[in-house]
Amino acid sequence: CDKRLCRRNSASENTTESSAERRIVLLGRSGVGKSASGNTILGLRGSEQFRSDCSFNSVTEKSEAKSAVVAGREVKVIDTPGLSKGKHTPQHVFNEMMKSCLLAEEGLHAFVLVIELGRFEKNDDEIIYLLKKAFGKEALKYAVVLFTHGDRPSSQNIEQNIQANEDLKNLVEMCGGRYCIFNNTSMNNKRQVRELFTKVDEMVQVNGGTAYVGEIVGIARTIMRELRESATDYSDRLSTAWRRFCNWVVTIWVAMCESFTRFLENTIILARTFPHKPAHNYSDLSQMC
């Protein structure tokens, strides 16, 4: 990684939070059930819901935040677009991931990586890479895996399934071994929501009782606070903030692309120098971190 980029992404600032309030962002590839999980967490129904469907197509185009009182606490959930072939590029997903900083300027308590049970794919791994590039490796201390389709028989031996898939096992380990299971067709099952927040509360406690606020989140907070004094309409304020915030987002994206280019160049040099040595696995983006 570029050292300046790593310093910029480090969790250099934290904020003390009320134990009741929680702000979480949902991440994952398209069609895994992020929006449906957000509805389950907040107990949203009808027109209040995040838009979702049962296909593998992405419904969410832009990051969107919704709030509700859940078991006596204020909870904000930010739904983000997912990686998908031919629709949402890594740069689009990265931009919308960064936009969550503006939607939760006081910091994030959890990065929830949503994965469809029994359908682990390459794009699931790439989301972790984008998360680390956007927020830094410290963000993994606030990461938890959420498996959807908990009504499937495979949910009964989830631990065995994790251990049987080396890539999935590594991903869960990067998230501190934290995971839970949702059945979004059973929204009345409050136990699954309680289990998720038990994981989130444990993460927050281990991290000093604070939300995640890296430098990039701190920049978003400063921009939003400055605009709050001059703009009364929230949508106008958010739009203006994004235009200012884009300068930082582009800087990080360019640095990330340069890092990838150097990685490929070094790989080609090694392949030419040591032709009989096994090549890198290009699908493993974590090698570039």
Residues 221-243 pLDDT 10s = 777 777 777 756 667 777 777 67
* Per-residue pLDDT reduced to its tens digit, 166-219: 999 999 999 999 999 999 888 778 899 999 999 999 999 999 999 998 877 777
The pTM is what? 0.75
* Per-residue pLDDT reduced to its tens digit, 92-122: 777 788 888 788 888 999 999 999 988 888 7
SS (H, E, C) 109-171: CEEEEEEECCCCCHHHHHHHHHHHHHHCHHHHHHEEEEEECCCCHHHHHHHHHHHHCHHHHHH
Report the chain's mean pLDDT, rounded to a whole number. 76
**269 confidence band (pLDDT: 50, 70, 90):** low
Q: 58 pLDDT exceeds 60?
A: no
**157 confidence band (pLDDT: 50, 70, 90):** confident
Q: 261 pLDDT exceeds 70?
A: no
- Nearest to residue 38, comparing CAs of 148, 202, 151? 148
| DSSP SS3 for 191 | helix
38 class by beta-carbon count within 10 Å (0-12 exposed, 13-18 middle, 19+ buried):
buried
What are the strands, taking DSSP E only, across the chain? 15-16, 22-27, 64-70, 73-79, 110-116, 143-148, 179-181, 210-211
Helix and strand totals (H; E) in the chain: 9, 8
What pLDDT shows up at residue 207?
Answer: 94
**10 confidence band (pLDDT: 50, 70, 90):** very low
Q: What is the mean pLDDT of residues 155-174?
A: 89
Measured over the CA atoms of residue 170, residue 173, residue 177 and residue 180, the dihedral's sign is negative
Q: 56 pLDDT exceeds 60?
A: no
Q: Please, are residues 120 and 165 in contact by the beta-carbon 8 Å criterion?
A: yes
Taking the domains of the chain in order of start, what are their residue ranges? 3-217
Q: 45 pLDDT exceeds 90?
A: no
| DSSP SS3 for 187 | coil
114 class by beta-carbon count within 10 Å (0-12 exposed, 13-18 middle, 19+ buried):
buried
- Nearest to residue 108, comparing CAs of 218, 33, 28? 218
Give CATH superfamily name and number for 3-217: P-loop containing nucleotide triphosphate hydrolases (3.40.50.300)
The helix-helix angle for 90-103 and 215-228 (nearest 10°) equals 60
